[in-house]
Structure 1
Amino acid sequence: MEPHENTGHPRRWAILGVLVISLLVVVLDNTILNVALRTLADPVRGLGASQGELEWAINSYTLVFAGLLFTFGVLGDRLGRRRFLILGLALFGLASLLSAYAQDPAQLIAARALMGVGGAAIMPVTLSIISNVFDPRERGRAIGVWAGAVGLAVAIGPVLGGALLEHYWWGSVFLINVPVVAVGVLLVALLVPESRDPSPGRVDVLGVLLSVIGLVALTYGIIDGGEHGFGRPLVWVSIVGGLAVLGWFVAHELRSDHPSLDVRLFRVPRFAAPVALVGLVFFAAMGVMFFGAFYLQLVRGYSPLESGLLFLPFAAAQLIFAPRSAAMVRRYGGRAVAAVGLLLTVVALAAFVLIDADTPIWIFSALGFLQGAGMANIMPPATESIMSALPREKAGVGSAVSNTIRQVAGALGVAVLGSVLSAVYRDQVAPAVSALPEPVRDAARESVSGAYAVADRLGPAAPRLIEAANDSFVSAMHWAAGISALVATLGVVIVFRWMPGRPVVAADATPATEPELAGTA
């Protein structure tokens, strides 16, 4: 029988609002930068950044963010979650200010890396604070709102970025973070209670170092391989080395009497199954968003602002369905809700195989809505299952694992599906560019954006090249979409085989009775 008394914090819903603001600024900034890349490359309007410098402006953030997520989740549990949230917001605001007024690409790359440090401190503690201030019976609904905020930020980032770039200089896409962060710090200080693990034990220094080294090496290899190809030794040294270090981390955690992560948790289906599900879904989803942006801006010729608006149905679906997913889980169980969400996502991803250069654009947005509705019913039950597998005082561990898997899987999805996209495009466009001079031919074969740049100098021959490039890109997009759908289909197998059928609401009351949790720190 459930206790009548609600054990949540009296200001829990106001606290959730503050956490959503903190989360929005982190996720939004990651997507807002994508629409500013062309402007940053302009030597007059921007910084004159090269392609490699633009890549590192994005990747310096991703690399630091993914590498530190787990560590900061663990340290937040030990040292105080509100303290980490305020520190992370302050660092993020300072780095945003430095990014806005960077004088050259190197300064921007360094400032973006500092933003990654701030983001890694913010992201895991938002979810662990939710677990701490909400009664287990309300936690699923709160996590639904949290997940909806992530989806909203992913979709409105390009819209906001496009609007700012149409009226202000490139630095405005970073400067807008500063007042939001200032308000966030004030509200966190006033509303959010401090919480930490009351018996943290000793710090697992070696485990923390191994997790950082392994995650950074693995993420670097994935990013570098996606951009420059997986045929270079450095890429595989980084990937294999990162996996080896993470293997060492697992072996060390199994032997340690004070592990930062009790890896035996991965034997618990309600922890391991949703972690795998989160990884598969974000691998597929981030890959689709990657090629979707190129499709809209190049093949269809929409501006950054227009492209962002066409992604809004995805955000709308997240806002509509994610907060309601908790009620659906209570009624039908997490397995059924996640399965339906996955099937909707698979259908949406597979349908992108039918999109071509002349498809009515409303179909693209409708598929985005369908994908958003599907993901809105996957992430909340998966996240709730992960968080319910741990007692409240260990919430940062669950949050950090979930967010780390999501970030690394998203980077892997962009890298792998981007590589598939590039390989198919190069193969398909080769006959159409074979007669061009060598330097121009190489640029046109490298990417669809390269073909558009070459076409500007071809005169009457330009339309033929553009048509060939568009057809080749659409064909490559079909391959990437098909692989995304197959990856998401693996999630259906995981859900039916291992996902718990009923919501678990009493994990906080009986953590000591679960041998799988023994020793978690």
Structure 2
Amino acid sequence: MAMPGTTATDPSSPGNAGLARNRWLALAAPVFGLMIVGLDATILTVALPTLATELEATTTELQWFTDGYTLPFAGLLLPLGVLGDRIGRRLVLIGGLLLFGIGSLMVLGVDSPDGLIVARVVMGAGAAAITPLALSIVPLMFAKEERSKAMAIATAGFALGLPLGPLAGGWLLNNFWWGSIFLINIPVVIVAVIGMLVFVPESRDPNAKRLDLVGAALSLLGVSAFVYGVIEVPNAGWDDPTVLITMIGGLVLLGLLGVWLRRASNPLVDLGFFRNARYTWSSVAISAVMFILFGVLFVVPQFLQQVQGKDAMDTGLHLLPMIGALIVAAGVGGRLVGKIGTKVIVATGMMLWVVGLGLLATVEPDTDFTVTGTALAVMGLALGFTMPTTLDAILGSLPADQVGAGSALANSMRQIGASVGVAVLGSSLNSAYRDNVEDDIPAALPEQAREAIRDNVAGAIQVADKLPAAQAGGIADSAREAFVAGMSTVSLICAALAAVTAVVVVALLPARDKTPLLKEPAGAKVESATP
């Protein structure tokens, strides 16, 4: 136990001598946890064709391999983040890591689509504990002058996992059984848990009150219902009764949550966080980034595989420019933010998104990878400047006893941004694709074949493969050009959002916090995990 008066934000104090010596080594544990969460959010992008064959999965089941992870992830973020503040951040984080590992191991017994969906639900629940609490622990281990660098490393771990997912998935699928894309999580979970136990101190709210069960229920049901409705949009359409009922119902429940949080004597989370401009506008900026990023990772792998004919491994390798640029920008941004402020770094990153997305919008089916690779590299720089810097600003604006709750609230916004991004951009892609391919579908084809062409470019190519060469070429080329038209639409929508966000950041995001970062309440203590 730390000495009286020792705080989580003072690694140099006597009670935290072990933490001071090992803080950079301790950082590896939450970084590994964040990396596997990011990786598993995107690793399926290259695996779906394989899973469709191996598990005989329908299109709806393929969608739920991804959505089964997203739904509990979004719904449980806030309750689990608050629970960590109450009973111990390290304790709940380790529980989340173990749950994530159990979900990954469950694939060993999977022989049907339903089994994999259940495994993904378990993994998503684990991820909901890992993400806010791993991020909330990091700034508590470092003094103010080191905090930006540490947060840049931690958030780069999560951001790196997103584009690394298709790369790792492609290599594993080319060399091993499909379940290896999940079993790869096990050694990472083991290392992260050991690191947490050995090097990371426990921390909690010293004045923890009874958990707000009403607020937790409204949060879980509201976020889950809204995200479920958003998930169903690309398949069912915006006018589907289920979509409308769940989305509107979710928004109503979230509205009731807001009313409850303002009136409850012991609310689940303090909405006063939003009185801090750095917290509010950094949360808005990172939600926009996730909207854009998941849109890019939704369309680019499909373009590389289905339009340009690359296999899963090549698709992953072609994302390396984004990964390399991300690593560089995260390091540079972490060093510069203390000198020139959050506003300049984030605004620069948002304008880089505009440039990269504008370049992506010019890509044609036969465009050389020099253009696509340059666009991905510019977007990697954009991601490296925006994600670590905004997360550092969010966490730096929170009181140390509520970093789990505050981080979870911001992460809920971020996850909703990602889900809405996939839904809106998926619908935009599908609409543009159908509009462009419809006139080129031969009227003589059976209705089933015509519908397959309308569905997606993969279906069009499958139909083309069964037709005479003279007819097949025209259908395949038309479908590829239609997909690229849809990708350009998605890119321009994202570029417009990035431009608007850049203006908002310049106008409203303070360059620096005017108050001390992570102020510790009197009497708060941290239990040291080191001798």
The TM-score by the shorter chain falls in which range? Answer: over 0.9
Paired position in structure 1 for 2:47: 36
Distance 1:426 1:158, change over 3 A: same
The SS at the match of 1:377 is: helix
Spell out, residue by residue over 1:84-109, the C-alpha distance to the aligned partner (whole angstroms, 9 max, x if none).
12111111111101124302111111
Paired position in structure 2 for 1:457: 466
Q: Quick check: 1:84–1:121 contact (8 Å CA) kept in 2? A: yes
Asked if 1:27 corresponds to 2:38, the answer is yes
Spell out, residue by residue over 1:166-203, the C-alpha distance to the aligned partner (whole angstroms, 9 max, x if none).
12111111112122212222222111111111111221
Paired position in structure 1 for 2:262: 254
Paired position in structure 1 for 2:479: 469
Q: Which amino acid aligns with 1:474?
A: V
Q: Which amino acid aligns with 2:508?
A: W
The SS at the match of 2:380 is: helix
Report how many aligned residue pairs link the two structures: 507
d(CA) in 1 for partners of 2:454, 2:10: 66
Q: Quick check: 2:152–2:388 contact (8 Å CA) kept in 1? A: yes
Distance 1:264 1:434, change over 3 A: farther
Q: Which amino acid aligns with 1:295?
A: F
Judge which range, 294-303 or 319-328, deviates more.
Answer: 319-328
d(CA) in 2 for partners of 1:5, 1:65: 32
Q: How does 1:348-497 map to 2 (within 5 A)?
A: 348-435=356-443, 436-460=445-469, 461-497=471-507
Q: Which amino acid aligns with 1:482?
A: L
Paired position in structure 1 for 2:154: 146
Spell out, residue by residue over 1:110-166, the C-alpha distance to the aligned partner (whole angstroms, 9 max, x if none).
111011111111111101110211112221111111121122211221111111111
Shift of residue 372 of structure 1?
1.1
Q: Which amino acid aligns with 2:36?
A: V
Shift of residue 57 of structure 1?
1.3
Q: How does 1:62-73 map to 2 (within 5 A)?
A: 62-73=70-81
Distance 1:114 1:35, change over 3 A: same
Q: Quick check: 2:28–2:195 contact (8 Å CA) kept in 1? A: no
Shift of residue 292 of structure 1?
0.7
Shift of residue 324 of structure 1?
2.8
Q: How does 1:301-320 map to 2 (within 5 A)?
A: 301-320=309-328
Distance 1:262 1:216, change over 3 A: same
d(CA) in 1 for partners of 2:139, 2:405: 12
Q: Where does structure 2 lack aligned partners over 5 or more consecutive residues?
A: 1-8, 523-531
Q: Which amino acid aligns with 1:424?
A: A
Paired position in structure 1 for 2:525: none
Q: Which amino acid aligns with 1:498?
A: L
Give the aligned CA root-mean-square deviation in angstroms.
1.7
Q: How does 1:17-416 map to 2 (within 5 A)?
A: 17-42=28-53, 46-416=54-424
Spell out, residue by residue over 1:326-348, the C-alpha distance to the aligned partner (whole angstroms, 9 max, x if none).
32111111111111111111111
Shift of residue 303 of structure 1?
0.8
Paired position in structure 2 for 1:508: 518
TM-score (norm 2): 0.92
Spell out, residue by residue over 1:192-219, the C-alpha distance to the aligned partner (whole angstroms, 9 max, x if none).
1111111112211111111100000010
Q: Which amino acid aligns with 1:215?
A: V
Q: Which amino acid aligns with 1:478?
A: S
TM-score (norm 1): 0.94
Q: Where does structure 1 lack aligned partners over 5 or more consecutive residues?
A: 513-521
Q: Quick check: 1:149–1:319 contact (8 Å CA) kept in 2? A: no
Shift of residue 30 of structure 1?
2.3
Q: Quick check: 1:95–1:111 contact (8 Å CA) kept in 2? A: yes
Shift of residue 81 of structure 1?
1.1
Distance 1:495 1:201, change over 3 A: same
Q: Percent identity?
A: 39
d(CA) in 1 for partners of 2:33, 2:389: 22
Spell out, residue by residue over 1:465-506, the C-alpha distance to the aligned partner (whole angstroms, 9 max, x if none).
011001111111111111111111121122112111125571
Q: Which amino acid aligns with 1:199?
A: N
Q: Which amino acid aligns with 1:51?
A: T
Q: Which amino acid aligns with 2:31?
A: V
Paired position in structure 2 for 1:516: none
d(CA) in 1 for partners of 2:10, 2:364: 56
Q: Which amino acid aligns with 2:91?
A: R
Shift of residue 284 of structure 1?
1.5
